[in-house]
Structures are given as C-alpha cells and as structure tokens.
Amino acid sequence: MIEKKKIIKFLDLGKQPLANSFLEKKNLNNEEFFYNLSIGFNPNNFLVSILNPANPKKQYTNKYAHRASQSKTMRKKFKETSIKLKNRFKPKITLEIGSNDGAFIKNFNKKKCVAVEPCKNLAVITKLLGYRTYDKFWDRNLSNYIKKKYGNINLIFSANTISHIPNTKETFDSIESILSNDGVLVIEDPYIGNVLRLNSYDQFYDEHVYIFSILSLSNLAKKSGLRIFDCEKIDNHGGSMRYYLCKINSKFKETAKLRSNLNEEYLLKFNKISTYKKFSKRIIKSKKKLINILKNLKNKNENIISYGATYKSTTVFNYCKINKNYLDCIIDTTINKQNKYSPGMHIPIISPEKGMTNKVNYAFLGAWNFNKEIFQKEKLFFQRGGKFITHIPYPRIIGKKKINNENYKLFK
Ligand code: TYD
C-alpha cells in the first residue's frame, strides 16, 4: 500500500478523468468523474507513485478498451519475448497476470499455461480460444486457488500490470507463495528513467499507480522475499524495463547488466527528490510550449488532429486544457474507441479513414510510443507537406526532413 505520510509531492497534473473513460455521445452531458492527479516520491524506498490511486474495480471493468493484440508492434514483441523466455527458462507451467486479449499467452501451449485477467470482456477472448483464464483480480485467494489446482509455477509473466495494482505487498506475497523455488517472475513496466529523460509526464494517469525504477522495485520485492537478478531496457510503451525476479535464496546470480543499470540509477540520482523536482519544472515549461505551438497554428487556421486516442493523451489534453478549439478530432484504429469522445476534453474519436483527410496538415502524436510505425505508415501525409507535433522530449513540430535527420533517435 502507498505509505502516504512519507511521500513528497513533486508534480500536480490537475483535474483528470479516468484515462480509459471514453464517452458515448448520449452521455456527454452527464457528470463526469474527475480526480486530482498528483505525483509523489517516497524517500524511504525511492518509489514514484500517484497520490490518490483509484479503485481498481472502477477501472478494470467489462468495458476495458485497450487491446494489446490490435497493435502489430506489440504482437511481434510479445512473440519474441515468449520465445526468449521459453528458451532461457524452459518453464513447465507459465502464468500470466494481466493477460489482456492474449497477445502474449497465445504464444504458449494451452496445456502449459494459465491466464489471469480481471476485465471480463478481454478474459472471454482467451477463454474462447481454449486458454485457462481466470477473470479475477490477482490476489492471495486467487494465488492459493491456482496453486492448489496446478501446483507451483516456474514462470510468471506480467506486462504493464504490476504497476497498476495499488497493493504491491499482497501482489508480491501472492507471487512469492506460488512461485517454484527456482521459478522466475518477469515484469515489464514503463521505466522512470525514460519518463525523466523524455519528459513523458503522460506516463502518469490513473492506471499507472507506480512508475518503477530498479531501486524502488527491489525495495518492494525484498519485503515479499523476492529479489531482482537481471533486467533489460526495452522500448515498449515509450520506454520500459523488463525485470527478472526470483526468490531471495534462489540459484540465480545477479547479472552485470543489472549492476550497471543500478549504478546508472545512482549516478542519475533516481534516489533523490531533487531529480523529480527538476523534472516537474521541465513539465511546466513543456505545457506552456505545447499550448503556444497549437495556438500559433490555430491562428493560421491550420487543421490539426490527434493521432491515437491513447490513455497518455488523456493526461496531456486535460493538463494542458487542449480541447476541440485546437484539435478537430482524434483518429484511432481501435474499433471500440471510435465514435466516442475523449475523457474530459470531449474531442471526437473517429477512424483514420474518416479523420486523416487531405485537409489535415498537422497531427499531434498521441501515440508517440508508436512513432516509427506511424511515420512509416504516413509517408503520403509527409509527402503532401503534413507535419507531426509532439511533446516528447520537448514540444516541437516534426516534418519529413527532421524525421530523416533524427532517424527516430530522439524518441528512444
Ligand atoms: P497505447 O500504446 O496502448 O497507449 P496508452 O497506453 O497510452 O493508451 O495506445 C496506442 C493507441 O494508438 C491505440 O489506441 C491504437 C492507436 N494507434 C492508431 O490508431 N494507429 C496506429 O498506427 C498506431 C500504431 C496506434
């Protein structure tokens, strides 16, 4: 649980709706739920967290919109990861916590895996494919139940889920109790190192209760008898870290990669509040600059849309108060986001076919984490003089020439 008293607040992102609460037209005039999104740092365990986490039962419902399998990039990455983990650890039985629509678990033999996904609309997808899927929240009871049924687990995988669960103690305790003695827990979550370097304050929204570092995750894991023995920087979701954990007394030795990444965290002072206070100052500047860019373009009557109805862009739009006065629409390929309205700012979301017309000359990169895929897809847009706007790592306009020069490097 978040130890509120010890946490030092360093960033206030203002009133925010739940990032996933896309609205139907008929509900636009209904009262919307807002909360204050503040971010804090705990000087005792170096953990960065949001200060008022929402109730997971309100967030992970049977209307959950994010579908991991709908992204070509993510399908490919999960496939590669599954091969890598199978080769390295040769698990007899694998458990995935937060299996979404099966993008990862589908790469495993149905008889050798178990999936846990509390959003019933997603769990049903893997259930129908014949995967043993529990549509429940991961907790002590579920862990005990699965252990009784299938025994200890050799490999537990969890991508973009552990950072979503407020009660880290129960989460890790329940993992420790089901993990076999030489079993491995692999976690992927957005990494604080990338957030600090890219000024990606939009990684903070209600679902991202924590943005981990190796330092902070080690401290949490230790309390439940687990330790990190390896890690890997990966570019998923705008920059993440893959952590490999085992039981405290397990056979795995700490790798050189873990030590060098940990040293880097000390060098960059991830354990000091001053680092986060400086970050906060950069974010206030980022907001001003982004609004200025949009105002100037609007004064010239440019047509601007947003690319990707991401949860991240919910934070940006509500923090910077970017609404229909600036953006004509948001385009997104996800069917269940289309014909809805963005949380808080009520910008219409439509399909790329309808929204990416010849009139559009600027597109804000809501899905900046997929910039490479998008730039490749939008060659025609560039050719006819179209430009992207991004706030990563600082607000600016990107045309064809810049992309060639930068070779996407600035986003990494
Ligand atoms: P995602 O990466 O899950 O970000 P977040 O976690 O902040 O929501 O979302 C990416 C969104 O962008 C998803 O809704 C699909 C959309 N998208 C497009 O519409 N077109 C594209 O070409 C790509 C790559 C993504």
pLDDT classification of 3: cutoffs 50, 70, 90: low
Alpha-carbon distances, residue 163 vs 22, 40, 157, 205, 309 (angstroms): 22, 15, 13, 11, 21
Residues of the chain within CATH 3.40.50.720 domain(s) are 290-405
Which helix (H) or strand (E) element contains residue 245?
strand 240-247
Q: Are 306 and 349 in contact (CB under 8 A)?
A: no
Residue type, 143: S
What region, left, alpha or beta, does residue 251 occupy, with left being phi > 0 and alpha being psi -120 to 50 degrees? alpha
Residues of the chain within CATH 3.40.50.150 domain(s) are 48-270
Radius of gyration of the chain (CA): 21
Whether 174 has a pLDDT exceeding 60, the answer reads yes
Across the range 132-159, mean pLDDT stands at 98
Q: Which atom of ligand 1 lies nearest, measured to the CA of 65?
A: 14
> For residues 97 and 268, what is the distance between their CA atoms, to the nearest angstrom?
31
pLDDT classification of 411: cutoffs 50, 70, 90: low
Whether 145 has a pLDDT exceeding 70, the answer reads yes
Over residues 176-219, the pLDDT tens digits come to 999 999 999 999 999 999 999 999 999 999 999 999 999 999 99
H-assigned helices in 234-389: 256-267, 273-299, 311-320, 352-355, 371-377, 379-383
**CATH classification code of 290-405:** 3.40.50.720
Over residues 324-343, the pLDDT tens digits come to 999 999 999 988 899 999 99
- CA of residue 305 relative to chain centroid, distance: 23
Looking at the chain, the whole-number percentage of residues with pLDDT higher than 90 is: 89
- CA of residue 80 relative to chain centroid, distance: 19
DSSP 166-209: S-HHHHHHHHHHHEEEEEEEEEEEEBHHHHHHHT-GGG-STT--
What single DSSP character describes residue 378?
A: T
Whether 405 has a pLDDT exceeding 60, the answer reads no
Over residues 61-92, the pLDDT tens digits come to 998 888 899 888 889 999 999 999 999 999 99
Which tokens is 172 given? 């890790």
The matching CATH number, chosen from 1.20.1530.20, 3.40.50.150, 3.40.190.10, 1.10.150.80, for 48-270 is 3.40.50.150
The pLDDT of residue 6 is 85
Decide whether any atom of ligand 1 lies within 6 Å of the 198 Cβ: no
The pLDDT of residue 372 is 87
Write the CB contacts of 368 (distance below 8 Å, at least 6 apart in sequence): 200, 238, 312, 390, 391, 392, 411
Q: How far apart are the first and last CA of the chain?
A: 32
What region, left, alpha or beta, does residue 19 occupy, with left being phi > 0 and alpha being psi -120 to 50 degrees? alpha
Task: Say how many Å lie between the CA of residue 310 and the centre of ligand 1.
Answer: 6
> For residues 290 and 270, what is the distance between their CA atoms, to the nearest angstrom?
27
Whether 228 has a pLDDT exceeding 90, the answer reads yes
Q: Are 160 and 189 in contact (CB under 8 A)?
A: yes
Across the range 344-357, mean pLDDT stands at 97
Of all protein residues, the one whose alpha carbon is nearest to atom 25 of ligand 1 is: 308
Whether 168 has a pLDDT exceeding 60, the answer reads yes
Across the range 312-322, mean pLDDT stands at 98
Residue 410 vs residue 22, higher pLDDT: 22
> For residues 64 and 66, what is the distance between their CA atoms, to the nearest angstrom?
6
The pLDDT of residue 373 is 87
The pLDDT of residue 138 is 98
Task: Say how many Å lie between the CA of residue 6 and the centre of ligand 1.
Answer: 35
Whether 385 has a pLDDT exceeding 70, the answer reads yes
Angle CA(14)–CA(197)–CA(97) in degrees, nearest 5?
75
> For residues 90 and 69, what is the distance between their CA atoms, to the nearest angstrom?
24
Over residues 102-129, the pLDDT tens digits come to 999 999 999 999 999 999 999 999 999 9
Residue 67 vs residue 165, higher pLDDT: 165
Which tokens is 65 given? 């919109």
Decide whether any atom of ligand 1 lies within 6 Å of the 334 Cβ: yes
Of all protein residues, the one whose alpha carbon is nearest to atom 6 of ligand 1 is: 311
Cis peptide before 348 (omega within 30 of 0): no
Of all protein residues, the one whose alpha carbon is nearest to atom 16 of ligand 1 is: 308
Whether 5 has a pLDDT exceeding 70, the answer reads no
Across the range 360-368, mean pLDDT stands at 97
The pLDDT of residue 70 is 85
Q: Are 2 and 49 in contact (CB under 8 A)?
A: yes
Mean of the per-residue pLDDT values of the chain: 95
